[in-house]
Amino acid sequence: MTPAPAHVAGAGMIRFGKYPADVTLESMAVRAAHAAMDDAGATASQVDAVYVGHVFGGPVAGQRIAVQLGLDGLPVSNHENYCASGATAIREAWTALAAGLHDVALVIGVEKMTDRVAGGVRPDPGDLDAAMGFVMAAGHGMSARRYMADHGATRAQIAAVAVKNHAHSVHNPYAQYQRPVSLEEVLGARPIAEPLGLLDCSPISDGAAALILCTPRGLARLGIGGTTPRVLGCALVSGSVQLGTDDLNAEDVSRRAAEQAWELTGVGPEDIDLVEMHDCFTIAEIVRLEGIGLIPRGEGARWTELGHTRIGGKLPVNASGGLLSRGHPVGATGVAQACELTWQLREQAAGRQVDGARVGLAYCKGGTVSGTDGGSVTTLVISR
Amino acid sequence: MTPAPAHVAGAGMIRFGKYPADVTLESMAVRAAHAAMDDAGATASQVDAVYVGHVFGGPVAGQRIAVQLGLDGLPVSNHENYCASGATAIREAWTALAAGLHDVALVIGVEKMTDRVAGGVRPDPGDLDAAMGFVMAAGHGMSARRYMADHGATRAQIAAVAVKNHAHSVHNPYAQYQRPVSLEEVLGARPIAEPLGLLDCSPISDGAAALILCTPRGLARLGIGGTTPRVLGCALVSGSVQLGTDDLNAEDVSRRAAEQAWELTGVGPEDIDLVEMHDCFTIAEIVRLEGIGLIPRGEGARWTELGHTRIGGKLPVNASGGLLSRGHPVGATGVAQACELTWQLREQAAGRQVDGARVGLAYCKGGTVSGTDGGSVTTLVISR
């Protein structure tokens, strides 16, 4: 049985970036929540429940946020799946609406990275692979080398992902970076994990994003007529990458997440008009698009170079700027992706609009790629 | 609309206590999960999804556990609501089953407190009340003083909660403490926050507990016929206690949680045969039982002294030993309460059996009672 879709009645976020210490996690979440509530025309008394995704906010961060929103009597819950935390909160809210538990849910994704993880997200102390140097950037560097060797891709084709995503977010007022970067800048940036350089990596970011999700009865409560974008479903799968397997870029976990999304939503890969893809590193955008079956295996780098994944191309990817350029406050990312899809499907994306978009897919991956941790992948489908 | 009940196909836990450093959070969770799966006759391949409640396990702890269980391909999500984290995971799993998303869910509550919070759970650095001395024990000490003044209760009546709960867990092989304590021992224990002494406070504990929850289709998959206990519903409300309000023991949040439980489940207070109550401190058991309306306001201390809340009394409370004596590994507690209700409703509780129990209520409270944090309360109803 497929749970019923959830209507997206409102979407709102704050600009991602590095905020000073006196801008709290709670205040960022409150601003994003108010933006989503205003967008939906919803008042606090019309909200039934609050679902919060975050990683580093500390115990009951969602409850502290709810108090500041005047929502402290409601059901509030905190959901963590590393970089897929925001998407997981959406999934839980969608499920609760489908079950008939609530009619109007506020979903918030939030992270204050600069306070908590100033030098970057550190691996778990028990992660032996990371202790030996296999940190996240190193894994993606290996992925890029393997990809280049297997498919004859060039360094410049991989770098073109960053050029594209930065070009997109010139038109996104919520993006951390809003200026174009050239191919030369990407290729000439400080090396991080070769062949990847600084501009191949998503930044440390603070930010918050929020959605109002509704049942049909919830829409009526808010006085919303006409059509709204609908969350058709959100698949969640986990999986670990075993080092020493034949193929570092097999992306089995992505393939399974996509298959479950198609099964859950009745939508197929041919229906997807735009993608918000978890491009924590340039190469990740490429191998994950291939993993979910939207680009043939080994073709992603060439597609990028040819402009197929640009706005106006045959499969626009990260019209928002993606993690690379919109920024990546980890718990907020999945909700920001859903905001972007909502605005695109409503044709409110102005200079970055994907014309005629009817169905969008948002993909998040949380957790490391090491052998003992299982990463989680979410595939969220929103339709016009 | 009330979501459909979830069948409890299996329950399992490990003994709560203080485990050495080489017993990991993951290994404790795996042992509890295997116990629940064995109880349900379920193999790994029959499980659809994993819901994990914990506070201090770190990012993607649930995924690390799932890898060790051979369940790493599945949807895995982590849920945090402080001491109500385990109950929140049950709520999310119940909702997903009711929505038709899954048929067999493994719910795990786990915490390794001795590694992470050796000296006790510390308040948030930003909690000004706590910084001024209003830590959790102090709040409950004030609650006890207020209760004694308002209702003419005696110190010994409050201490009787600890005597009762320790007497119960003599018969609970999973309890951290399995020997009786006398009233003199409770009254003579080292003062913590007067009038409360050491034996009025729940201990630092490690532990894990797990459930297998099923739809009717899930039961059929596991080959389970006949009747099973059913999770009728789990309410979740939040609320903050404002210092300086007239009544420290008003327990408005508990009242609302109970009302929502009755509304969700169709069960009323008169139907409740036994309670697993969040007795993080002796006085908390009393004021929360009154708050949820199962004991008249101001009568709880006398009821305890008279034995009404003992096994064999008119409202048996914490037959398991409760947090005071079974122990309180925070993320595990809500799931352990559900395990106890399951065993009681199946009449498998041996020396601590509540005869003829048909409906049980489990109550958790997570978060602090300070003015800016909103605590969360869960009220879970399981019926035979």
Question: Is residue A278 domain-shared with residue A253, that is, in the same domain?
Answer: yes
Task: Confirm whether A211 is domain-assigned.
Answer: yes
Question: What is the domain-level CATH number for residue B289?
Answer: 3.40.47.10
Question: Is residue A103 domain-shared with residue A138, that is, in the same domain?
Answer: no
- In this complex, do A55 and B59 lie within 8 Å of one another by their Cβ atoms? yes
User: pLDDT at position A216, please?
Assistant: 97
Which pLDDT band, with edges at 50, 70 and 90, does B117 fall under? low
Question: Is residue B324 domain-shared with residue B194, that is, in the same domain?
Answer: yes
Percentage of chain A surpassing pLDDT 70? 94
pLDDT at residue B144 tops 70: yes
User: pLDDT at position A368, please?
Assistant: 66
Query: Chain B interface, mutation test: which of A80, A330, A368, most B Cβ atoms within 10 Å?
Result: A80
pLDDT at residue A110 tops 70: yes
- In this complex, do A76 and B238 lie within 8 Å of one another by their Cβ atoms? yes
Which pLDDT band, with edges at 50, 70 and 90, does A119 fall under? low
**Overall average pLDDT of the A129-137 stretch:** 82
Tokens linked to B274: 């036994």
* Residue-range definition of the domain harbouring residue B14: 6-117+205-228
Question: Is residue A219 domain-shared with residue A256, that is, in the same domain?
Answer: no
**Overall average pLDDT of the A261-283 stretch:** 97
- Using a CB-CB distance cutoff of 8 angstroms, which residues of chain A are in contact with residue B4? 99
- The owner of tokens 């409950």 is B140
**A245/B131: higher pLDDT:** B131
Task: Confirm whether B122 is domain-assigned.
Answer: no
Question: Is residue A266 domain-shared with residue A379, that is, in the same domain?
Answer: yes
**Overall average pLDDT of the A217-231 stretch:** 96
**Overall average pLDDT of the B103-125 stretch:** 83
- In this complex, do A237 and B74 lie within 8 Å of one another by their Cβ atoms? yes
Instruction: Write the pLDDT tens digit of every residue in B190-233.
Output: 999 999 999 999 999 999 999 999 999 999 999 999 899 999 99
Question: Is residue B75 domain-shared with residue B109, that is, in the same domain?
Answer: yes
**Overall average pLDDT of the A198-209 stretch:** 97
User: pLDDT at position A133, please?
Assistant: 82
User: pLDDT at position A127, please?
Assistant: 72
User: pLDDT at position B134, please?
Assistant: 81
Which pLDDT band, with edges at 50, 70 and 90, does B43 fall under? very high
- In this complex, do A81 and B78 lie within 8 Å of one another by their Cβ atoms? yes
Which of A125-129, A136-140, B133-137 is the most confident on average?
A136-140
User: pLDDT at position A374, please?
Assistant: 64
**Overall average pLDDT of the B114-139 stretch:** 76
**B129/B336: higher pLDDT:** B336
State chain B's mean pLDDT as an integer.
94
- Using a CB-CB distance cutoff of 8 angstroms, which residues of chain B are in contact with residue A67? 240, 372-374
**A42/B131: higher pLDDT:** A42
Percentage of chain B surpassing pLDDT 90? 85
Question: Is residue B52 domain-shared with residue B198, that is, in the same domain?
Answer: no
**A249/A33: higher pLDDT:** A33
From the list B340, B369, B380, the residue with the least C-alpha distance to B88 is: B380
User: pLDDT at position B246, please?
Assistant: 66
Question: Is residue B349 domain-shared with residue B217, that is, in the same domain?
Answer: no
Of the partner residues B3, B4, B77, the one whose CB lies closest to the CB of residue A81: B77
Which pLDDT band, with edges at 50, 70 and 90, does B115 fall under? confident
Question: Is residue A254 domain-shared with residue A288, that is, in the same domain?
Answer: yes
Which pLDDT band, with edges at 50, 70 and 90, does A62 fall under? very high
Question: Is residue B219 domain-shared with residue B331, that is, in the same domain?
Answer: no
Complex ipTM: 0.95
Residues of B recognised as catalytic: 83, 328
User: How many domains, in total, are found in chain B?
Assistant: 2
Burial group, residue B215, by CB count within 10 angstroms (0-12, 13-18, 19+)? buried
Which pLDDT band, with edges at 50, 70 and 90, does A32 fall under? very high
Question: Is residue B75 domain-shared with residue B159, that is, in the same domain?
Answer: no
Task: Confirm whether B94 is domain-assigned.
Answer: yes
